[in-house]
């Protein structure tokens, strides 16, 4: 009799600046996890995204807000990684994917993105590495069509949430309902977005 092959563990990365983390981010993680049967979701705050000029909160503050949000949300399969936040800026997803694949070669790594990111994924640094190392979970709004990319693995998952970090930064007190209470308290205590 042949050996029974062990099913590979499925984990996913949800990256971003998380400036600040909001209920939409938590919902993305939960929806992706349920849709694909993920054993773990890794929130990966970047030091500075290559596509953004900077953040309001420091990397350390964004990591701390994520830890509070994950704990209060009850997402037991989620963890916060500081790996990208500790790298020299800017952060590149291919470096993170390579690092995770080398650290955990027995894991089937997924990457959670929205259709806006999926549409331009071929413009990310070293897209061929991303294609080879990752299975993408593409969260779609309003039945957005998902571009088929030859050689890329992806699963389209419908998701909708109004929360926006940009809107929270522009009008913090008007959007506290998009944040877990502990993050609201943290932001007020550290005078973030006021």
pLDDT, mean of each 10-residue run, the chain (194 residues): 66 96 97 96 82 77 97 95 86 93 97 95 96 97 89 96 95 98 98 92
Flag whether 78 is in a domain: yes
Phi, psi of 111 (to 5 degrees): -135, 125
SS3 label, residue 121: helix
Distance CA 109, CA 59 (A): 24
The pLDDT, as a whole number, for residue 1 is 47
Flag whether 194 is in a domain: no
Total structural domains within the chain: 1
The pLDDT, as a whole number, for residue 53 is 58
Could you tell me the CATH number of the domain that includes residue 141? 3.40.50.620
Flag whether 3 is in a domain: no
Flag whether 13 is in a domain: yes
Flag whether 77 is in a domain: yes
Left, alpha or beta for 191 (phi > 0: left; psi -120 to 50: alpha)?
left
Specify whether the CB–CB gap between 18 and 45 falls below 8 A: yes
Flag whether 94 is in a domain: yes
Distance CA 28, CA 173 (A): 23
Flag whether 157 is in a domain: yes
* pTM (2 d.p.): 0.91
Closest CA to 95 of 115, 72, 124: 124
The pLDDT, as a whole number, for residue 24 is 97
**Residue 13: which domain range?**
9-189
Closest CA to 112 of 19, 27, 191, 176: 27
Closest CA to 151 of 122, 192, 178: 122
Distance CA 172, CA 83 (A): 28
Distance CA 83, CA 102 (A): 14
Question: Rounded to the nearest 10 degrees, what angle do helices 59-73 and 181-189 cross at?
Answer: 150
């Amino acid at each position: 009799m042949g050996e029974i092959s062990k099913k590979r563990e499925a984990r996913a990365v949800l990256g971003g600046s998380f400036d600040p983390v909001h209920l939409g981010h938590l919902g993305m993680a939960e929806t992706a996890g349920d849709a694909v049967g993920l054993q773990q979701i890794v929130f990966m705050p970047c030091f500075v995204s290559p596509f953004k000029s900077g953040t309001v909160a420091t990397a350390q503050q964004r990591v701390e807000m994520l830890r509070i949000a994950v704990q209060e949300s009850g997402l037991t399969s989620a963890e916060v990684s500081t790996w990208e936040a500790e790298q020299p800026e800017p952060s590149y997803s291919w470096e993170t994917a390579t690092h995770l694949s080398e650290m955990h070669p027995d894991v089937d790594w997924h990457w959670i993105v929205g259709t806006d990111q999926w549409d331009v994924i071929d413009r990310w640094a070293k897209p061929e590495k991303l294609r080879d190392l990752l299975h993408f979970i593409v969260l779609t709004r309003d039945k957005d069509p998902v571009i088929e990319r030859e050689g890329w693995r992806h699963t389209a998952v419908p998701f909708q949430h109004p929360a926006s970090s940009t809107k929270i930064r522009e009008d913090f007190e008007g959007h506290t309902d998009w944040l877990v209470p502990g993050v609201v308290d943290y932001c007020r205590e550290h005078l973030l977005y006021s």
